[in-house]
Amino acid sequence: MGVRDAVGAFALAAVVAWLATPLSARLARRLGVIHVPRERDLHERPTPGLGGLAILAAVIAAGLVFLPLQREYLGVLAGAALIALLGALDDRFDLHPVPKLMGQLAAASVPVAAGVYVDHVTLPFLGALDLGPAGPPLTLLGIVAVVNVVNWTDGVDGLAAGVCLIAAVTFAVLALSLDRDAAGVLAALTAGAAAGFLRHNFHPASVFMGDAGSNLLGLLLACVAIQGVLKTAAVVALLFPLMVLAVPAADATFVIAKRIKYRRPVYAPDRWHFHHRFANIGFSQRRTVMYLYGWSLSLALLALALRFVPYSDEAGHLRPGWAALLAVFGAIAVAASVYVVYVLEILKFRRWRERDIQRRVETGELPALSREAIEREIEREIETGEFEAVRGEPGS
C-alpha cells in the first residue's frame, strides 16, 4: 500500500462521486429536499441537496477496495456512514441543534471506539505529551469541532468541496511521506470524492452537498489528521492540521466571536461568515471561492514546506539557504492572510463609507461632494483612523 493505492483510491472515488451526484439530486427532488433561497443564502434558485450521499457512496466504494479492513478504518467508514445519514435527516427535517450535536457525538464516537484517537502529541521543543485517559474524549470533541467547522464553510457554491479537496490532498501527501500509508489512502479517497462532487457543485451549482456532505467531509478530514499526522513523531505534527484547516477554522472562530459579542446563540445562523462578507462588498460567488481557495492553498503549501524543506540539520542547526526558502513559503502564506484581511476589512470600509457619505449628501446632511473628494476623505480616514462614529456595524 502506498502512492499507487492512493492514486487509485482518488480516481475511483472521483468517478463514483461524479456519476452518483446527479442520482442524489434526483433523489433529493423526490424527497422534497430542495434548498430554497433564504435571506442569508447566496444562491438565487431552488437547488436540490443530498449531494453528500453521493460523496458517501464514493468513500465507501473506494474504502472497501483500497483501505485495509482493519478495526480502525472500518470504524472510520461506519462513523462516516452514520454522520452522513444524520446529515441527510437534518437536510430533510431541519433538526434542532441539540439532537444534531448529540448525533454528531454518537457518529464520532464510532471511530474513536475503534482506536482512532490521539494518546499523545509531539510539541516543538517539548517533545511528546502523554494525554493518558483524556485522549479519547479530547479526540471526540476535536472530531466534532472539525465537523462543524467544515459545515459552517458550506455556504457558497463549491467552497466546502474545494477547501476539503485542498486539505485532503495535502494530508495525503503528508501521511504518505510519514509512512502512514492507510491514512494517506483515506485522505486520497476523501479528496477524490470531493473532486468528483465539485464537478457538479462549482458555481452555478446543480446540487448542494448539504449537512450530509459537510458533516461527512469534516469527520473524514479529522480522522485523516489523527491517523496520518497526529499519531506520528514528527516535531511539527501538531502544526500540520492547524495550517491545513486554518481557513475554515478562522471562519468559525470569527463567527463564534461575533455571536458572543452580540449575545446571540452560537448555533444561530447569520451572515458573518467569510463568504457572506465577500458578498457584502460585491464579490461574485466564483471570485469569493477563488480567493478562499488561494488562501487555503498558500497555507497548505506552507505545511508541505515544513515537512519537505530541510531547513535544519540533525543537530537542530539552521541551514541558511533552505531556511530562506521556507521563509518564502511563510511569507506567501502571511501575505495571502493579510490580503484577505485587507479585502474584508479595508475594502469593506471603503465601500460602506462611500455609500454612507453619498447617502448623507443626498439627504442634505453634507454639502455636495465630487467622487474625487469622497475618495480623498475616505483615504484620510483610513490613514488617520479618524472618522465620524456611526451606529451599527458596517457591512455586517
AA letter at 205: A
Distance from C-alpha of 147 to C-alpha of 215, rounded to nearest angstrom: 5
**Measured CA distances, 88 to 58, 124, 162 (Å):** 16, 41, 21
Q: Is residue 151 annotated as involved in ligand binding?
A: yes
pLDDT band at 389 (very low <50, low <70, confident <90, very high): very low
Q: Give residue 87's pLDDT.
A: 96
Q: Residue written as cell 501521511?
A: 175
Residue 287's contacts (CB-CB under 8 Å, 6 or more residues apart) are 278
Q: Give residue 77's pLDDT.
A: 97
- Contact at 8 Å (CB) between 216 and 37? no
The region of weakest confidence among 39-53, 155-169, 223-237, 258-272 is 258-272
With a cut of 50, say whether residue 358 has pLDDT above it: yes
pLDDT band at 3 (very low <50, low <70, confident <90, very high): very high
- Residue that wins the pLDDT comparison between 210 and 396: 210
* Residue pLDDT, tens place only, 60-70: 999 999 999 89
Q: Is residue 148 annotated as involved in ligand binding?
A: no
Residue 56: how many other CB atoms lie within 10 Å: 28
Burial class (CB in 10 A: 0-12, 13-18, 19+), 256: middle
- Contact at 8 Å (CB) between 142 and 242? no
**Measured CA distances, 84 to 218, 289, 367 (Å):** 10, 24, 59
Q: How far is CA 279 from the centre of its chain?
A: 18
* Residue pLDDT, tens place only, 215-267: 999 999 999 999 999 988 777 888 899 999 999 998 888 888 888 887 888 87
